[in-house]
Amino acid sequence: MSTKATELLTRFSDWSTRNLSHQQFLMVLSSLIGFLAGLVAVGIKNFTHYIQRLLEDEFIVNYHNAFYFIFPLIGIAITVFLIKYIIKKDIGNGIPTVLHAISKRQGIMRRFQSYASLITAPLTVGFGGSVGLEAPTVATGASISSNLSRLFKMNQATRTLLIGCAAAGAMSSLFKAPIAAIIFAIEIFSLDLTLVSMIPLLTASVSAILTSYFFFGNDIILHYQLSDQFDVSEVPFYVLLGVIAAVCSIYFGKVYFKFAAIFRKIKSGFLRLLAGGLSLGVLIFFIPPLYGEGYDVINNLLQENYIFALQTNLFDSYLDNIWVVILLLAGLVVFKVIATSLTLGAGGVGGIFAPVLYMGSAMGHCFALIINNLGILNNPISVSNFTLVGMAGVMAGIMHAPLTAIFLIAELTGGYELFVPLMITAAISFVVTSRFQPHSVYTMELAQRGELLTHNKDQAVLTLLNIQQIIEKNFVTLNIDMNLGNVIHEGVIKSSRNLFPVIDENRKFLGIILLDDIRPIMFDQKMYEEVKVSDIMQRAPEIIDLRKDRPKDIMNKFQETNAWNLPVVEDEKYVGFISKSKLLTAYRQKLIEVTV
């Protein structure tokens, strides 16, 4: 940012401090962030569409159909080159990166994240990478919001709320679904639903959608309006659809993380690019509908236009056979997550939001076609309705965001008459998936590291605690080879504490000595040489391991042992002590900081 721009913002900040209350300034800032998030969404979409039009323009039209399957490799290669040699920093993985910044960096995101995804995501998706633009848009908006919050000296709680405003604004602009966007921010980022937080979220969402209307007009992602009414006789099928959506969600999570683990084992970035890019190209060659985001496929499925939805493939001459169509749709469900995983594993930048909607639409459509062609019903079920509800079911399972799924599909399609089936399918999918996968694809890795924020206030505060800051290191250490005389002269006399950690020559923690343990013999000089540290040392009631123990684990150890001080080790080496009183004080302070 230029010096002049910084000066203007500083002057504006000073003026607002004098003339506006905190809540009024928060409204102004949330409006600005919503507008900026809307611009980010417009920029990413337009850049992506420009690349897509370029690849389909006249000067390469003769080669497009023959070689389009290599475009994703080219796009990912350009993306990897930019990240490695121009940006020179790890961009991260969209929404999980934002969640990590909130939980472990006090909501502070680095400045390059404000533009990195804005450049790389359109290159990945524009060239046909099988991922979505939603997560990069949210991450870019969140980074802009975070850095604006720092500039205006916002505290951690406000900074987190404004990151949520950016997420709501990004989703509102992309989908023209302002209510679903607010719910998305609350569900995904675990924001507290209060009047104080609701108004800024609402302001940002409205600001962003107005920005979208200004640039895109009435154009929307899903061009479909609900035409078939909900029939109560279809409820059993929506229940079954919810179960199948849960199975698909569990499958998505398993495959996604399996491929991520495989690509992490490939140390060479060039080999990852070749392995992922070439595999993706082969997959798209045999299954062309996997190319790109896939919203065109979803729209064609809603219109039951199978020729355009399934595109040219090895079986296109058999599309008049409905069972061939069903088989191909099942293939899309199975292979879309593989295509997405290959795109990200190769080094592409994108998110899973669009692939999830894609997978859900294919699943719901396939399910309805199977039911209608089994000959078990006198009146066929609505294929389009099940396509829509299928999207909600899979989204609720994979993202663990059932309310977002319900309201998004309803707002996108004007399908408020489908509220009951949306609720049934989304709830069943969420409950069943949660039983086998307790965390969403976004939060799985953070949860495994104990760094996940949740709507549970106690859990959230514990996650945000910085344990390093509360370790006390003013304890005098005793060597295991010392005798009682050394303990008195080197420990007791020099220390103001009544607790002494015992270590060996490599600083490995061995135990503790309490002043009470030696008080009966400390004045008997005859025992100074006779009694060794190993004779009077005792085991610590519990040990805190910085590598393994999270704040919640530490709190549990204090509760279980009823101790006032516990030793801290890292790789078995002594670091210091944590006291219960200091831990509770830090907890109370953090609770105040994160409460809006």
Residues 6+ apart with CB under 8 A from 395: 356, 357, 360, 401, 404, 405, 408, 426
CB 72 within 8 A of CB 277: yes
> Is residue 41 predicted with pLDDT exceeding 60?
yes
H helix count then E strand count, the chain:
26, 6
With beta carbons less than 8 A apart as the criterion, state whether 567 and 512 touch: yes
573 forms beta bridges with 508, 570
Q: Three-state SS for 384?
A: helix
Q: What is the pLDDT of residues 219-230, one digit of tens each?
A: 777 777 777 788
pLDDT at 213: 87
CA 373 to chain centre: 39
The sign of the CA dihedral 246, 249, 253, 259 is: positive
Give the global pTM: 0.80
Domain ranges of the chain: 3-216, 232-455, 461-594
* Per-residue CA distances from 233 to 87, 229, 386, 453, 570 (Å): 56, 12, 14, 41, 61
Per-residue pLDDT tens digits for 329-361: 999 999 999 999 999 999 999 989 999 999 999
Our measurement of the distance from residue 480's CA atom to the centroid of its chain's CA atoms, rounded to an integer in Å, reads 47
**126-140, 256-270, 508-522: which range is least confident on average?**
508-522
DSSP characters for 149-211?
HHHTT--HHHHHHHHHHHHHHHHHHHHS-HHHHHHHHHHHHT---SHHHHHHHHHHHHHHHHH
Q: How confident is the model at residue 492, as a pLDDT?
A: 83
Indicate the pLDDT class of residue 370, thresholds 50, 70 and 90: very high
| CA dist list (Å): 80 to 182, 187, 223, 274 | 33, 32, 34, 11
Cβ 394 vs Cβ 360: under 8 Å: yes
- The rounded percent of the chain whose pLDDT value lies above 90 is 35
User: Edge-to-edge strand order for the sheet containing 499-503?
Assistant: 478-479, 499-503, 509-514
Evaluate if residue 15 carries a pLDDT over 70. Answer: no
- Calculate mean pLDDT across residues 21-36: 85
State the Cα–Cα distance between residues 488 and 525, nearest whole angstrom.
Answer: 10
The confidence score (pLDDT) of residue 9 equals 65
Calculate mean pLDDT across residues 9-13.
67
- Could you say which of 3.10.580.10, 2.40.50.140, 3.10.129.10, 3.40.50.1470 is the CATH number of the domain covering 461-594? 3.10.580.10
Instruction: Count other C-beta atoms under 10 Å from residue 159's C-beta.
Output: 24
CB atoms within 10 A of CB 530: 12
Q: What homologous superfamily does CATH list for 232-455? A: Clc chloride channel (1.10.3080.10)
Q: Report pLDDT digits (tens) over 147-180.
A: 888 877 777 778 888 898 999 999 999 988 899 9
| pLDDT tens by residue, 543-595 | 999 888 888 888 888 888 888 889 999 888 998 998 888 888 887 777 666 55
Q: Mean pLDDT for the chain?
A: 85
Looking at per-residue pLDDT, the higher value among 411 and 11 belongs to 411
pLDDT-based confidence at residue 484 (cuts at 50, 70, 90): confident
| DSSP sequence for 482-531 | -BHHHIIIIIITT-SSSEEEEE-TT-BEEEEEEHHHHTTTTT-GGGTTT-
Q: Please give the angle made by the CA atoms of 462, 135 and 419, to the nearest 5 degrees.
A: 90
Beta strand spans in 415-465 (E):
none
Give the pLDDT score at 550: 80
Tens digit of pLDDT for each residue in 374-389? Answer: 878 788 898 989 999 9
CATH 1.10.3080.10 fits 3-216, yes or no: yes
The C-alpha atoms of residue 152 and residue 443 are separated, in whole angstroms, by 29
Instruction: Give yes or no for residue 306 having a pLDDT over 90.
Output: no
* Low-confidence winner among 65-69, 210-214, 291-295, 389-393 (lowest mean pLDDT): 65-69
Fold agreement (3-216, 232-455): yes
Lowest mean pLDDT: which of 125-134, 137-146, 186-195, 288-297?
186-195
Q: What's the pLDDT at 360?
A: 95
CA within 13 Å, CB half, 214: 11
pLDDT of residue 450: 61
More confident residue, 476 or 194: 476
pLDDT, tens only, 70-108:
899 999 999 999 998 898 888 877 888 888 777 777 778
pLDDT at 457 over 60: no
Note the pLDDT tens digit of each residue in 234-251. 999 999 999 999 999 999
- The band of 14, judged by pLDDT with boundaries at 50, 70 and 90, is low
- Exposed/middle/buried for 519, CB within 10 Å: 0-12, 13-18, 19+? exposed
